[in-house]
């Protein structure tokens, strides 16, 4: 009977520790966690385990570099298609300013601004699509 109560006690302690791990993991979801915050969470879990009287082995928290990502769906692809149309319009308008019969300094300035916007949007779009 003593062995059974000891194993039940250990099982209940492990359940409480797993609950604490889930709590910490839930708190970290969707938030960018720095290494310092990651270490503080690990220390919190170690002290909780020490309080429960269980030796800590390997503590498995989600990595600080892991991010929660939204799944790709029709809205994602519609947004990317809309951005591609805007990009095409920027290139077309910039080309029309540059290919006018007698472009002025203002035409060159407008075309440079549009090409700058194109470059920035292309970079953001590329980074967003690649990170997913």
91-112 residue pLDDT tens = 999 999 999 999 999 999 999 9
pLDDT above 90 coverage of the chain, percent:
27
Q: Could you tell me the pTM of the whole model?
A: 0.45
Q: Where are the alpha helices (DSSP H) in the chain?
A: 2-28, 35-52, 74-98, 105-131
Distance CA 72, CA 92 (A): 29
Distance CA 3, CA 9 (A): 10
Q: Is the per-residue pLDDT at 7 higher than 50?
A: yes
pLDDT at 77: 83
Q: Is the per-residue pLDDT at 121 higher than 70?
A: yes
pLDDT at 79: 85
pLDDT at 131: 67
Among the listed residues 120, 115, 70, 56, the one whose alpha carbon sits nearest the alpha carbon of residue 91: 115
pLDDT digits (tens, 9 = 90+) for 37-60: 778 878 887 887 777 776 666 555
pLDDT above 70 coverage of the chain, percent:
76
- Determine the average pLDDT of the residues in 58-74: 57
Among the listed residues 62, 79, 61, the one whose alpha carbon sits nearest the alpha carbon of residue 70: 79
Mean pLDDT of the chain: 78
Q: What is the DSSP string of 33-57?
A: --HHHHHHHHHHHHHHHHHHT----
Task: Break the chain into its structural domains and give their ranges.
Answer: 8-69, 74-131
């Amino acid at each position: 009977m003593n062995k059974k109560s000891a194993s039940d006690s250990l099982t209940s302690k492990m359940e409480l520790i797993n609950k604490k791990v889930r709590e910490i993991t839930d708190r970290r979801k969707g938030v960018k966690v720095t290494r310092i915050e990651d270490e503080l969470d690990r220390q919190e879990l170690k002290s909780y385990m020490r309080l429960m009287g269980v030796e800590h082995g390997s503590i498995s928290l989600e990595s600080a570099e892991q991010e929660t990502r939204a799944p790709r769906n029709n809205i994602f692809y519609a947004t990317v298609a809309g951005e591609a149309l805007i990009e095409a319009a920027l290139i077309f308008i910039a080309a029309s300013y540059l290919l006018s019969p007698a472009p002025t300094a203002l035409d060159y300035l407008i075309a440079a601004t549009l090409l700058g916007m194109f470059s920035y949007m292309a970079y953001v779009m590329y980074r967003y699509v690649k990170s997913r």
